[in-house]
Amino acid sequence: MTPTDAFEELCHQAREIALLESIGELLGWDERTYMPPAAGEYRAEQMAFLSGLIHQRRTDPRLGALLEELAASPLAQDPHSDEGTTIRELRRQYDKQVKLPRSLVEELTRASVLGQQAWVQARQDNDYRLFAPHAEKIFHLKRQQAACLGYADHPYDALLDDYEPAARTAEVAKVLDALRQELVPLVGAIMQSGRTAPVGILQREYPLAAQEAFGKTAAAAIGFDFTRGRLDTTHHPFCAGLGPRDCRITTRYDERFFNTAFFGILHEAGHGIYDQGLRPQWYGLPPGQAVSLGIHESQSRLWENLVGRSRAFWQHFFPQLAGAFPAAVADVTLDAFYWAINHVAPSLIRVEADEATYNLHIVVRFELEQALLKGDLAVGDLPAAWREKYGEYLGVEPHDDADGVLQDIHWSAGLVGYFPTYALGNLYAAQFFEQADRDLGGLDRLIARGEFNPLVEWLRKHIHHPGQRYTAAELVERVTGRPLSHDPLMNHLKRKFAPLYGL
């Protein structure tokens, strides 16, 4: 068999696996949007069965033989070519998957589906006890997964690699600590400024139907293609890529708080724009897949915050806002609205946190899930540990479980190691945005005119189209000319908040 023939067979197998995975994504999307509550147990069996089939295909010895043959072929000589990237990344994934027993993969899937169902009920009832047994099982299984995969320093390394390949716990902790050391004084100065944003503007009546229409208009304007995607409602917003031309985004609505749905839509649309910007001819293969969840998060945070909370954005969209919600904003100026959506105050809810305090929410979760994974923290003690961390890092403590330990879906879904990618995404986003601003000759000018396509095209060229040719660290350095730094994010935050709070 020639290398070309072997490569074509490898791609065929990988695309069939991607087809099965897309079916799993569709089942997961349906579970979190339209599935009736009583169907949860059978859905768990469906997804466990499917995950077992996928694992069987991903660990097929024939796949291993093809990868072994191709690794020594001319097609692998350039590791950053589309062919080299495909061989390198599929071999990395194969080497990980063969370490995991099919029974563990199936049990993790089953536990995660049931865990999500229990989480929804526990959050509705504000009762952590309903979810605790599921958390116990999920973390037990994640410890088994880490042990099977192996690690050098910390079991968390093995799980973090699923979301941020090649990243290490110690390195992430170092980056987040450096960021925290500058964030805490900035937040402190804002709190001591004596200035208060007019947040009451956001707590008026914003009819749900108008929120949905306005949100879809904004998402389409910034580049989300609704001929290849849709928007639905869920308990916890997410984006699901179901195929090369099928991207589903979701949000949740609060008629008495504007930010919840609107910025959730911008956030998920950012994820969707990335998925829609990947090369469809390589769907299911590394050149057509996202680099890492941190890079994926950079795209959502860039559109949500660096664009969506900018003054330039609202110079363009404020007249449309006034038309969509005339009763709510009839007496509101652009300046007042801009300050309201950039209000800074330590809060309880991560997804509604401001730009300045958001990463402190991530540090809390990052530290707690490491302790849970190592067994240094018991699942039963998690709510108390959560309150203690929030008191220490943010100066606020939740009065109940719904606004505390039950606010995120991630642990119920088995996504241990996911949380730090949010903070990394903020760092990547600021550094990419800074570079795009230089390359495009001033983004504020374009955004204020409603010209979002130049930024979309810049992102497609530099971030989306390369797929997995480079690691996240390599991509940042290639695009911006320097390694990842917290300086661009801190510079952005200081430029924004200093005028608002008189710093």
Q: Report, as an integer, the average pLDDT of 460-466.
A: 98
Confidence of residue 142 (pLDDT cuts 50, 70, 90): very high
| Of residues 182, 184, 452, 469, the one with CA closest to residue 312 | 452
Q: Which of 34, 36, 30, 54 is nearest to 109 (CA)?
A: 54
Contact 389, 410 (CB under 8 A): no
Question: Under a CB-based contact definition with an 8 Å cutoff, are residues 322 and 311 in contact?
Answer: no
Which residue in 145, 74, 83, 161 sits closest to 109, CA to CA?
145
Q: Is there a catalytic annotation at residue 268?
A: yes
The closest of 74, 101, 105, 106 to 87, measured between CA atoms, is: 74
Residue 237: which residues within 8 A CB-CB, separation 6 or more? 249, 250, 251, 252, 264, 267, 268, 351
pLDDT in tens, 375-408: 999 999 999 999 999 999 899 999 999 999 999 9
pLDDT at 1 over 90: no
Share of the chain above pLDDT 90, in %: 93
pLDDT at 24: 94
Q: What's the confidence (pLDDT) of residue 153?
A: 87
From the candidates 21, 31, 83, 268, which is the catalytic residue?
268
- Alpha-carbon distance of 440 to 379, in angstroms, equals 49
| CB proximity list for 417: less than 8 A, separation 6 or greater | 156, 159, 160, 161, 162, 163, 164, 369
Gyration radius of the chain's alpha carbons: 23
Q: What is the structure's pLDDT at 453?
A: 98
User: Does residue 352 surpass a pLDDT of 90?
Assistant: no
> Can you list the alpha helix ranges (DSSP code H) found in 278-377?
293-301, 311-324, 326-329, 334-341, 358-374
Dihedral of alpha carbons 305, 357, 142, 112, sign: negative
DSSP state of 243: E
Query: 3-class SS at 204?
Result: coil
Contact 392, 370 (CB under 8 A): no
pLDDT for 78 equals: 96
- Which helix (H) or strand (E) segment holds residue 63: the answer is helix 61-71
Q: Count of CB atoms within 10 A of residue 5's CB? A: 10
Nearest to 481 by CA among 462, 496, 458: 462
Quick one: how far is CA 275 from the chain centroid? 12
Run of H or E including 142: helix 132-149
d(CA 366, CA 419): 6
Do the beta carbons of residue 458 and residue 439 sit within 8 Å? yes
Instruction: Report the pLDDT averaged over residues 166-181.
Output: 91
So what's the pLDDT on residue 503?
A: 85
**Structure tokens belonging to residue 209:** 């139907």
Residues 6+ apart with CB under 8 A from 388: none
Which of 492, 379, 450, 412 minimizes the C-alpha distance to 111?
A: 412
Rounded Cα distance, 312 and 66, in Å: 52
Structure tokens, 165: 């390949």
Give the neighbor-by-neighbor strand order of the sheet with 239-243.
229-233, 246-251, 239-243
Least confident of 275-284, 346-355, 452-461: 346-355
- What's residue 360's pLDDT? 94
The torsion of the CA quartet 209, 214, 218, 224, rounded to 10 degrees, works out to 20
Half-sphere exposure of 203 (CA within 13 A, CB side): 5
User: Which residue is associated with the tokens 């060229």?
Assistant: 461
As given in the structure block, the two tokens for residue 218 are 């904004």
What are the tens digits of pLDDT across the range 291-323? 999 999 999 999 999 999 999 999 999 999 999
Residue-wise pLDDT for 114-135, tens only, equals: 999 999 999 999 999 999 999 9
**pLDDT at position 44 over 90:** no
Compute the mean pLDDT over every residue in the chain, rounded to the nearest whole number.
95
Rounded to the nearest 10°, the torsion over CA 155, 110, 27, 407 is -60
Please report the pLDDT score of residue 235 as a whole number: 81
User: Is pLDDT above 90 for 373?
Assistant: yes
Closest CA to 336 of 496, 185, 500: 500
Q: Of 375, 379, 353, which is closest to residue 187 (Cα–Cα)?
A: 353
pLDDT band at 152 (very low <50, low <70, confident <90, very high): confident
Residue 485 pLDDT level (bands cut at 50, 70, 90) = very high
pLDDT tens digits for range 178-206: 998 999 899 999 999 999 999 999 999 99
pLDDT at 481 over 90: yes
CB 164 within 8 A of CB 378: no
For residue 82, what are the contacts with CB-CB under 8 A and spacing of at least 6?
282, 287, 467, 469
C-alpha count within 13 angstroms, C-beta hemisphere, residue 76: 17
DSSP code at position 407: S
Tens-place pLDDT, residues 52-102 = 999 999 999 999 999 999 999 999 999 999 999 999 999 999 999 999 999
Q: Which residues on neighbouring strands pair with residue 239, listed in sequence order?
A: 249
Q: Would you place residue 287 in the very low, low, confident or very high pLDDT band (cuts 50, 70, 90)?
A: very high
Q: Which residues pair with 232 in a beta bridge?
A: 250
CA distance 1 to 126: 60
Query: Cβ distance 263 to 307 under 8 Å?
Result: no
The secondary element (H helix, E strand) that includes residue 239 is: strand 239-243
